[in-house]
Structure formats: structure tokens, C-alpha cells
Structure 1
């Protein structure tokens, strides 16, 4: 029997079969990671907390998630659209904060955040303008709730119907794009008043190939 197994492993198709199986397993792992992250984001109010947990799992001594601010040009149409979605008055100020959320030097996500400064405290507004504290951390005292508007996979390691397909057909290494997942959501206070609109785009670094 051992001789038969050895002969099989050395057969012309043996290496190809092993490679195909490895590619299939890699796709399954990526699919599971992506679906787990998506489910965590859908079930929790703070995306920052989800990313911090991810960072901690990879390194027990992981640093705190930071929000590295990125300069963003004024965009009045986008601000007006956010104002309407947040149910704000026509003269109520709307601020736009764009950040890269990092675990050490690794950028896990990029987020655009339109928020209503009048619905935050003075100290919260100062922190958002002058520090690298993530939005969810700054506004945590509001006991906010997250309401997801859309969750879109930007990467599909396995095509539709993969569960019925022959694993031998997955014979090419998967190419992971720069962005793998995008969420649109708004944050509201416990009494139902929205105060922030978010577009979060998660990078390939949330996955372990």
C-alpha cells in the first residue's frame, strides 16, 4: 500500500493535484476570514473595536488602532447629501474626516466620516480635529448604535456555486485586490438621533493569505 501511495505522489499529475488542493484551501481560508470580518462588523456597533480585536489576535502586544488623518478637499454636494441622510437642518454644519485606521504601520481600513459637530461635545470635536483617536473611541460616551446601510464584498475568493464545484478546478493562486470589503453605515444616539455617516473600505491587510 505504501508503494502505491508513493507512486501516486510521484505520478505526473501528483504535484498539480497537490497545488490545486493548496490553492483551494487558501481560497477557503480567505473566504472564511472575509465572512467572519463582515459578520463581526454587522453585529457590533464599533468598527474600531472589531479592528482592535483583529489586531490583538495577531499580536498580543499590538498597539492601539490609530486614525491617521488624510487631507480631503471640500465637497459641498457630498456634505449636503450627508446632511440630508442625517436629518440635519440646512444651516447645520457638517464636517468631513477622512482617516486611515492603522495597526502599527499596517493600514487596515480607510474611512470617510461626515458628522454633525453640534451633536457632539466640545471635547469630542477638539479630539477629532487634533488627535489620531478613532471616531468610535472619541464618541464612545454617547453609547452610540451602528446602523448598516450596505455591506459589499469587493473580493470573492470563491465564485458563486463553489460548494458544488470540483476542488481540482481551483488550480490558480488567488489574487487579492487592494480593497476587499466596504461598509456604509450611520451612527445614532440611543434615542435614535443620527450624528455620523460612514463609508469604510477595508484593505487586503485584514486578511492573512
Structure 2
């Protein structure tokens, strides 16, 4: 079970998310989405649909691969993890409390960009307890670009979402006036999640911060 008094607000996430938002991911849609009322509505519906899909499945990686295939983002729809080593560091005390880790318990940090083809779909921080994983799992995480969810799938883990926030709602923006030929301004991130992964007995072993990019929209609607 979760350790007594674990920090539901997870204040450590705020500076991490603010820092991440300063980084514009290197994603690029092949064609611009038009800045029309119908395109804005469709974009918002896609963000909300992905959010619901993520909330209903334990593995974000598997969900993104299905999403890539459905949206035609890349063929094959394989998601890989690009490590961002320079932004990895020690686990904050709040993370240790959340994971039930003592001051001397090893906690590893893995910062990745999840990429499908040329498109960056998300940036994620993953703090995890290597002692809860098998030696083979730890070796794969240390030496390959395999996403965390794929590596630990044999653990039959559960996902507890702590917070889910839609960051972009273009259809609800006030003062919008369609401009013929204009492109829809896309933010760096459209959705964020905070979650904990647990073993079947409820023991937490991973704390996640995920930020999903506008790359999840895929190809624009037909004009």
C-alpha cells in the first residue's frame, strides 16, 4: 500500500513541470492544422480522447502505440524512449516518501522523450526503485531505448493517476476569429499526468510525471 502520509500534492512536480515547459520539444507536424472553428473543436476532442484513453489503461506506452496507429502518426507505430541524461538527477524527498524509500534506498531517475517515428509524443520523468525490478529489467532500462512500461510489463503493474490536467482547450478560447489560411497555434504541451505504478499487492515502485505534446494530434483534418 502507499506509505502513510504520502504527499498527495507532490510539490516536487511543480518545478519539474515549469522547467519542462521551458523546453519546446522537437516535434513537428507534417502539415499545419488550419485555425478554424471545426479544427479547434477536433483538436480539443483528440486531446480529451487521449486523456480518457490514458486514464483507462495501465501502460502509457501501449496506449500511445495504439494512438499512433489510429491517428496515422507513423508506420510502424512503434514508440521508443530517447534518454535526456542531462536532466536526470536525485529523487526529491517527496518522491522518496511517495515510494516508501528510506534515505539510503536507491531511487533512479529516467527522463525520456517518447517518440513515434519523427514525432515526439511526450516527455516524462520516471523515478523508480531498482530493487523492485529484476536484474534483467534494470539492465534493459540502463542500456536501451525501450520504454519503461514495456520493460516492467511482466510485473503486472497497476497505475494510480494522481492528477490529470488538460493544458490546452482551443475550442473554448475566447475572442477567436477564424482567419483564412492561418495555421492553428500549437502549444508545446497539451496534457499532463502524474501517476504512481504499483505491484499487484499495492506496493509503489515508480512515480511518473508525463507531459504530452501537440504531436499527439497527428495529421490535420481535411480542409
Same fold (TM over 0.5): yes
1:59, distance to aligned residue in structure 2 (A):
6.0
1:79 and 1:94 in contact (8 A); partners too: no
TM-score of the superposed pair, with normalisation by structure 2: 0.75
TM-score of the superposed pair, with normalisation by structure 1: 0.80
Which of 143, 159, 162 is matched with 1:146 structurally?
159
Higher helix share: 1
1:75, distance to aligned residue in structure 2 (A):
3.8
Gaps of 5+ in 2: 1-34
In structure 2, the partner of 1:182 is 192
Which of 161, 171, 178 is matched with 2:178 structurally?
171
In structure 1, the partner of 2:81 is 67
Gaps of 5+ in 1: 1-21, 163-167
Bigger RCO (CA 8 Å, 6+ sep): 2
3-state DSSP of counterpart to 1:72: helix
Please report the RMSD computed on the Cα atoms of aligned residues, expressed in angstroms: 2.2
3-state DSSP of counterpart to 2:194: strand
Give the number of the structure whose alpha-carbon radius of gyration is greater.
1
Q: How many residues align?
A: 182
> Are 1:197 and 2:207 counterparts?
yes
In structure 2, the partner of 1:90 is 103
